[in-house]
A and B are shown apart, each in its own frame.
Chain A
């Protein structure tokens, strides 16, 4: 189930790793290459490349005592563990960046609503111990923080269904169509990237689908076993929504007040316009689902193409206005009631006037096809 970890490549990372490796190998004569690679979270090739460097290292100012570390590709032998002296291979203290990386991530995961209580307790205990061991180096970790959002009850049910390999029934909200649909899904994994999602095999569409937990209106664990087909897990680190090249193109022009569109919607291009606005080209499997965006933009932008999308937004707006008993186009008193919010950011530096799109949570939530 492991996601693809990011491979450290810098000389600093390799040096850090080799220093720990020396300590580790000293305690374990004849350690297996495969075991050591797993313990260090690296590939066997990476380990072998470290083992190629180590025999060239030592405390050479004392007369050339290089480390006599050797491998036959299966086991690793260190023939002169005394070369570094009695104390010189002790575990090293944790650096500020290391403490920050571990502690910030641990605190974020520990606050995930729905995490199993046992796991949360283990995480909190580990965090406290690492914090104590890191000492002063832990201080800077308070300057970084991350919140994952999740629906605790839904999370717990999905987590249980995955570990018991059972099918789920959900009632799920699709913002693009503003409708709730019922489906049975075979859950594969939970992914938190700001929001938390379940990746699953959807029995209704017979396809892989990703569902955002806060859009699950109802959930039940079924008695049937879950049987997702063997599918290759995607690397989701670059974003959950990856529009396909064959999806229809949508072109939107926005004024400065609508620039947030480029921050919330994955897009092919965003070209600057002379007035400080943008011309954004994006792709959507179902352009009709972008009617919400067109309505939301108001005077801060317009759909250039496809034409049907622009027309349907216009029609929807006229129909909505009819209920207010005001004419659609003449700029009655209400039309000047207030500048559009985009012109007047309310607080501080001004966020987009209401986030929606892939990563947001609160109001809108356009998320194509999720």
Chain B
């Protein structure tokens, strides 16, 4: 039976961390049981040098993922060696009190996405090893609070890595109202989760402009492209403001409506002013942003738009479409 990957990675990590001089690939291959076992001469592994090299490269990448800084050093006689120096791998001193530890304990459980959930636990374990106090149950300390960061979109992980490594990506994207997706090439800047949905901000190369994408509208695979970013990454990327304005959150005007008494609590909660008309109706002034017409129509006969005329016409238009069925 093949030796488990975690055992192989652990041995490679301990070898690289324990050595004071660079170790050659040959030395590592000959001393780590998992490599000896898999690539034993005469084991029948075809092209075993190539497959060892591939496995070794992947293993180094995996160790770098978990934070190991591995140096590649070329000796005078041209041989390449590897080591993980203590001083570049040591966690700087960090002292956290019990309250801070409890806070981090809560935070480490927030991610619902496997990779980041694993990373968060991993960080907490490293801090535990460094002496993070452990006598407080975070759930006791924080009452019964459970924050979750939902990640349902398949595009999340590749985009997160592309944002991290600043790599351009290509994907198919279906606009809100489009029947078919279109290919996009994007330099991804930042991801933001708002109201449970993930959005990407970046530079759209074909359009030569900044764009915000909703991850749930990305169809198919996200593919990483070679090469670097061509546009400058802004210091501050504001995804939320853009999305909020799409969602009608930024009202620049106000509207006057009649609302049946007792109905439409959320309209009342947002109202600038409410005046009782006394005939079973109230008059409300409410903020008027994008999408207000669609919302008002939801209240059916309990809402009548008075002003402005444009909003009134939009609402009538929508009601007509429904009335015709």
A40 partner residues in chain B, CB cutoff 8 A: 121, 125, 128
In the bound complex, do residue B322 and residue A317 qualify as a contact, i.e. CB atoms below 8 Å apart? yes
In the bound complex, do residue A102 and residue B120 qualify as a contact, i.e. CB atoms below 8 Å apart? yes
Minimum Cβ distance to chain B for residue A156 (Å): 11
User: Cα distance A328–B324 when bound, in Å?
Assistant: 7
Q: Is B256 an interface residue (CB 8 A)?
A: no
Minimum Cβ distance to chain A for residue B220 (Å): 15
Q: Is B14 an interface residue (CB 8 A)?
A: yes
Q: Which of A13, A108, A256 contacts B122 (CB 8 A)?
A: A13
Q: Is A294 an interface residue (CB 8 A)?
A: yes
User: Cα distance A292–B66 when bound, in Å?
Assistant: 49
Q: Is A68 an interface residue (CB 8 A)?
A: no
Q: Is B46 an interface residue (CB 8 A)?
A: no
In the bound complex, do residue B179 and residue A173 qualify as a contact, i.e. CB atoms below 8 Å apart? no
Nearest residue, chain B, Cβ from A333 = B313
Q: Is A244 an interface residue (CB 8 A)?
A: no
User: Cα distance A72–B304 when bound, in Å?
Assistant: 76
User: Cα distance A356–B99 when bound, in Å?
Assistant: 38
In the bound complex, do residue A8 and residue B121 qualify as a contact, i.e. CB atoms below 8 Å apart? yes
Q: Is B222 an interface residue (CB 8 A)?
A: no
Minimum Cβ distance to chain B for residue A67 (Å): 8
Q: Is B183 an interface residue (CB 8 A)?
A: no
Minimum Cβ distance to chain A for residue B199 (Å): 9
In the bound complex, do residue A126 and residue B100 qualify as a contact, i.e. CB atoms below 8 Å apart? yes
B113 partner residues in chain A, CB cutoff 8 A: 6
A328 partner residues in chain B, CB cutoff 8 A: 320, 323-324
User: Cα distance A223–B318 when bound, in Å?
Assistant: 49
Of residues 286 through 306 on chain A, the ones whose CB sits less than 8 Å from some CB of chain B are: 291-299, 302
Q: Which of A102, A149, A297 contacts B107 (CB 8 A)?
A: A102
User: Cα distance A349–B210 when bound, in Å?
Assistant: 11
Q: Which of A105, A302, A324, A355 contacts B110 (CB 8 A)?
A: A105
Q: Is A221 an interface residue (CB 8 A)?
A: no
Nearest residue, chain A, Cβ from B268 = A217
Q: Is A193 an interface residue (CB 8 A)?
A: yes
Known interface pairs A102-B124, A337-B317; A108-B147 also in contact (CB < 8 Å): yes
User: Cα distance A140–B214 when bound, in Å?
Assistant: 21
Nearest residue, chain B, Cβ from A155 = B145
- Interface code A48-61, partner B: CB below 8 Å = 1, 0 otherwise? 00000110111111
In the bound complex, do residue A144 and residue B144 qualify as a contact, i.e. CB atoms below 8 Å apart? no
User: Cα distance A125–B15 when bound, in Å?
Assistant: 36
User: Cα distance A135–B322 when bound, in Å?
Assistant: 58
Q: Which of A19, A319, A350 contacts B13 (CB 8 A)?
A: A19
Q: Is A263 an interface residue (CB 8 A)?
A: yes
Q: Is A74 an interface residue (CB 8 A)?
A: no
A293 partner residues in chain B, CB cutoff 8 A: 298
In the bound complex, do residue B109 and residue A194 qualify as a contact, i.e. CB atoms below 8 Å apart? no
Of residues 354 through 370 on chain A, the ones whose CB sits less than 8 Å from some CB of chain B are: 354-356, 358-365
Interface-forming stretch among B48-56, B72-80, B189-197, B271-279?
B189-197
Known interface pairs A93-B92, A345-B175; A237-B148 also in contact (CB < 8 Å): yes
Q: Is B321 an interface residue (CB 8 A)?
A: yes
Q: Is B38 an interface residue (CB 8 A)?
A: no
Minimum Cβ distance to chain A for residue B257 (Å): 11
B103 partner residues in chain A, CB cutoff 8 A: 106, 109, 119, 122-123, 126
User: Cα distance A191–B142 when bound, in Å?
Assistant: 12
Q: Is B70 an interface residue (CB 8 A)?
A: no
Minimum Cβ distance to chain A for residue B282 (Å): 14
B13 partner residues in chain A, CB cutoff 8 A: 15, 19
Known interface pairs A147-B194, A320-B303; A12-B62 also in contact (CB < 8 Å): yes
Q: Is A94 an interface residue (CB 8 A)?
A: yes
Minimum Cβ distance to chain A for residue B192 (Å): 5
Q: Is A70 an interface residue (CB 8 A)?
A: no
In the bound complex, do residue A343 and residue B294 qualify as a contact, i.e. CB atoms below 8 Å apart? no
Of residues 175 through 222 on chain A, the ones whose CB sits less than 8 Å from some CB of chain B are: 175, 178-180, 187-195, 215, 217
Known interface pairs A317-B322, A321-B316; A345-B177 also in contact (CB < 8 Å): yes
In the bound complex, do residue B139 and residue A98 qualify as a contact, i.e. CB atoms below 8 Å apart? no
Minimum Cβ distance to chain B for residue A39 (Å): 5
Q: Which of A129, A143, A352, A356 contacts B164 (CB 8 A)?
A: A143
Of residues 1 through 25 on chain B, the ones whose CB sits less than 8 Å from some CB of chain A are: 3-7, 9-11, 13-15, 17-19, 23
User: Cα distance A88–B13 when bound, in Å?
Assistant: 10
In the bound complex, do residue A130 and residue B94 qualify as a contact, i.e. CB atoms below 8 Å apart? yes
**Would you list 7 pairs from A and B whose C-beta atoms are within 8 A, ordered by A residue?**
A122-B97, A122-B99, A191-B146, A191-B148, A292-B298, A298-B317, A362-B249
The 6 closest A-B pairs by CB, nearest first: A276-B179, A194-B196, A95-B67, A354-B291, A363-B295, A8-B118
